Structure 1
Amino acid sequence: MKKSLVLAFILATPLLGLAQRSKPDAALLLRDVKVLSADSMQGRRSGSEGNLMAQEYILKRFREIGLKPFNNSYKQHFEIDTKRAKVPEATNLIGYIPGKSDKAIIVTAHYDHIGQRDGEVYNGADDNASGVGALLAAAAYFAKHPPKHTIIFAALDGEELGLQGAKAFLDNPPVPLHKILLNVNMDMLGINGKGELYASGTFHNPELKPYLLKVKPREKARLVLGHDQPDQGHDDWTNQSDHFRFHERGIPYVYFGVEDHPHYHKPSDDFENINHTFYPDAAALVIDFLELIDTDLQRLPLKNQAAKPE
């Protein structure tokens, strides 16, 4: 009987270890959000001095984590020239962790916000310093647990000006489009009183649903699927963040985010309103999904028609 108990413990121990591996450093995660959403960053509007300050902080964190740059640079410069704004030099920040496969998973989160209006700073702690913090936490995890597939981490600029950073990324991708298997986008992960983090995109990519359903709830956060059906109007999030540009190209995506809250696009979107227990668990859920999908991605019948080589 004792031998059976010992054997059961030995068999269970690796599983317990695996379940606990992806717990991000909550203090570091929250520090990243606090720094990026400080008044000194001036709301991080594309082209602003505060946006440049945010870039420098993110680049410092890329180097600390050990992300590799493409062509000796983390920066992808591009121009924003639309009716809404003109920014001569906006900047995506891109690094990667090589895998055994040259096929890539693209993890995105925009770091820009809407800046200052009428003398008030819109700090964008949830929108989207929280997504960038989770991106950095995911990068740190996979730097210590090398992935099967190459994972590219892209902190995108110009989302608030029409998803311009995602468009620039795909117009000049660091790897051929046909090698991109999936986009995982994070935009607003930090404020939710019900412990709900939405995973949007399975309506368009039903083959991803079984994998999302395997992600077990954390203590303070659980995944809820939805917000991706055309008949939902504004509650359909398909075109509401950077993942839409991937969807346009036929690249499967999952968008992780919370429902709108009173601080959305308001000066009150400050670090103090981030839920300090929900947010680390929400970030952990994304990492859990990434680990799961990285392990099993070859089994997915992904139909990336627009990105296939000619």
Structure 2
Amino acid sequence: MHFNKLIIIVFLMVFTACKSNSEYNKTVSIKDDVMFLADDKLQGRQTGTDGELAAADYIAQRFENIGLSTKGPDGYFQTFSFKPKTDPHQTVNYTVKDGDSTITGTNVIGFIDNKAENTIIIGAHYDHLGYGAEGSLYRGEASEIHNGADDNASGVAVMLSLAKKLKKKNKGNNYLFIAFSGEEMGLLGSNYFTKKPTIALSNANYMINMDMVGRLKENNTLAVYGVGTSPIFKQVVKANNSKFKIIENESGVGPSDHTSFYNSEIPVLHFFTGQHEDYHKPSDDSEKLNYEGMALISTYIFDIISDLDDNGKMPFRTTKNESEDVPRFKVGLGVIPDYLFDGKGMRIDGISEDKPAQKANLQRGDIVIKLGDSVVTDMMSYMRALSAFDTGDTTKVIVKRGNDEVEAEIGF
């Protein structure tokens, strides 16, 4: 047996040993789940690796102890094999022959059967980037483990807490819980599930997705996407909220697994606490998460599900795909935008090393209000302004810093 795999299995056994079902449920918290999934011993949970398989085993064990029945083709597991895309526009072929380049992902699927007509699907991806797979934003010389605590041990932990809450309450629907593999490689696990579902998708009521829900900020800003995918969603999201500053987005399309279900004409709600400087870097670790915030989000989602419990099946509605309107651009400021900022302008939530914004002495918290000749009022106008520039161009940027307006020169 591979030495690292042995370490992972021993760690899993020690963590779960000697607990009865009731004791397990009492003692395993949201933080415990994150700590396990984001531990170095799982080596970043890259799709198809021993670390991802150990995470899958752990999630299956949690499902069993919570009392979920199996709903995969092989117990809790649904495996799929594929060859990585060499062209980003290429369609993934899930039917492949054995070969060195074949990767096998594993979805983990549990079920609460309330003998209801419809089923709510609740999901979160559990794979991440290993030692820095494609998509990593780490620029260090040596490879390091990307633990993905926020992305997306946080979503899995909240999903598990919801499974425990829903085991004995809200019997108006069945519940299917899915921990998706292959999200970082292109929503592969969720896409595969919608092609090979283990329930009749015609009976799927709606889908809830949680991806990066571990960094709730002091102002309690929470993004909820997909509110336009069913007529009642906006009302329910608002009526059950007393804790959060909600940023709504109508679109059912986005860079996470809810998109696969929206494309199957299932209403979706996607929850997200925002981008940060540790995104897709080795520094996305468990000690940086807001566990009280995650518990609040779990309760909020549970309240939404409870409110909808006797509403029957949610009608599906198509939404405008806002990503189709995003202008193409060749240059960037080298900043992490605050996607949850709802004021005027584009707020900077992080500055990348040795990029135009840093060289111009821009700071985290600055709000870009003008770039070149263009007034910036939101993310879309910022991207439109950026699309006018090419490598080698220089321009002026005006940012709001506190009560002051600061002008700087940007060189792309």
Shared fold per TM-score greater than 0.5: yes
**1:252 matched residue in structure 2:** 267
Question: Is the 8 Å Cα contact of residues 42 and 52 (structure 2) preserved in structure 1?
Answer: yes
Question: Is the 8 Å Cα contact of residues 122 and 265 (structure 1) preserved in structure 2?
Answer: yes
- In 1, the alpha carbon distance for the partners of 2:169 and 2:210 equals 21
SS at match of 1:113: coil
**Percent identity between the two aligned chains:** 33
- Given candidates 291, 312, 315, the residue that maps to 1:301 is 315
- Which stretch shows the higher mean deviation, 26-35 or 131-140? 26-35
**2:256 matched residue in structure 1:** 241
Gaps of 5+ in 1: 1-23, 230-236, 305-310
- Given candidates 221, 235, 243, the residue that maps to 1:196 is 221
Assess, with a 3 A threshold, how the Cα gap between structure 1 residues 191 and 295 changes in structure 2: closer, same or farther: same
Gaps of 5+ in 2: 1-24, 87-91, 93-100, 133-141, 319-412
For residue 204 of structure 1, report the CA deviation from its aligned partner.
Answer: 3.7
**1:4 matched residue in structure 2:** none
Question: Is the 8 Å Cα contact of residues 97 and 146 (structure 1) preserved in structure 2?
Answer: no
Report runs of 4+ in structure 1 exceeding 4 Å deviation: 24-27, 84-87
SS at match of 2:78: strand
- Which stretch shows the higher mean deviation, 55-64 or 289-298? 289-298
1:168-194 CA-to-partner distances (Å, cap 9, x unmatched) read: 111111111211111111101110222
SS at match of 1:181: strand
For residue 209 of structure 1, report the CA deviation from its aligned partner.
Answer: 1.1
For residue 126 of structure 1, report the CA deviation from its aligned partner.
Answer: 0.6
Assess, with a 3 A threshold, how the Cα gap between structure 1 residues 171 and 124 changes in structure 2: closer, same or farther: same
Q: Which of these two proteins has the greater Rg computed from alpha carbons?
A: 2
- In 2, the alpha carbon distance for the partners of 1:303 and 1:238 equals 12
- Residue 224 (str. 1) matches residue 249 (str. 2): no
Question: Is the 8 Å Cα contact of residues 181 and 302 (structure 1) preserved in structure 2?
Answer: no
Assess, with a 3 A threshold, how the Cα gap between structure 1 residues 26 and 289 changes in structure 2: closer, same or farther: farther
**1:38 matched residue in structure 2:** 39
- Given candidates 252, 267, 291, the residue that maps to 2:282 is 267
Letter of the structure 2 residue corresponding to residue 49 of structure 1: D
- In 2, the alpha carbon distance for the partners of 1:87 and 1:247 equals 28
Assess, with a 3 A threshold, how the Cα gap between structure 1 residues 284 and 203 changes in structure 2: closer, same or farther: same
- In 2, the alpha carbon distance for the partners of 1:205 and 1:301 equals 6
Q: Which has the higher contact order (CA 8 A, sep 6+)?
A: 1
For residue 27 of structure 1, report the CA deviation from its aligned partner.
Answer: 6.5
1:243-266 CA-to-partner distances (Å, cap 9, x unmatched) read: 001111111100011111111111
- Given candidates 205, 214, 233, the residue that maps to 2:230 is 205
Instruction: Please give the residue correspondences for 1:33-182 in structure 2 after superposition, counting only pairs within 5 Å.
Output: 33-70=34-71, 73-83=75-85, 86-117=101-132, 118-145=142-169, 147-182=171-206
**1:184 matched residue in structure 2:** 208
For residue 83 of structure 1, report the CA deviation from its aligned partner.
Answer: 1.3
Assess, with a 3 A threshold, how the Cα gap between structure 1 residues 78 and 182 changes in structure 2: closer, same or farther: same
**2:338 matched residue in structure 1:** none
- In 1, the alpha carbon distance for the partners of 2:277 and 2:246 equals 20
Assess, with a 3 A threshold, how the Cα gap between structure 1 residues 188 and 260 changes in structure 2: closer, same or farther: same
- In 2, the alpha carbon distance for the partners of 1:54 and 1:93 equals 10
- In 1, the alpha carbon distance for the partners of 2:185 and 2:170 equals 35
Question: Is the 8 Å Cα contact of residues 200 and 255 (structure 1) preserved in structure 2?
Answer: yes
Question: Is the 8 Å Cα contact of residues 34 and 154 (structure 2) preserved in structure 1?
Answer: yes
For residue 26 of structure 1, report the CA deviation from its aligned partner.
Answer: 9.7
Letter of the structure 2 residue corresponding to residue 200 of structure 1: Y
- In 1, the alpha carbon distance for the partners of 2:316 and 2:277 equals 37
TM superposition score normalised by structure 1: 0.81
For residue 223 of structure 1, report the CA deviation from its aligned partner.
Answer: 5.5
Question: Is the 8 Å Cα contact of residues 191 and 274 (structure 1) preserved in structure 2?
Answer: yes
1:264-299 CA-to-partner distances (Å, cap 9, x unmatched) read: 11111100100132121122212221222233244x
SS at match of 1:295: coil
1:117-154 CA-to-partner distances (Å, cap 9, x unmatched) read: 34211100010000000110010111122521111000
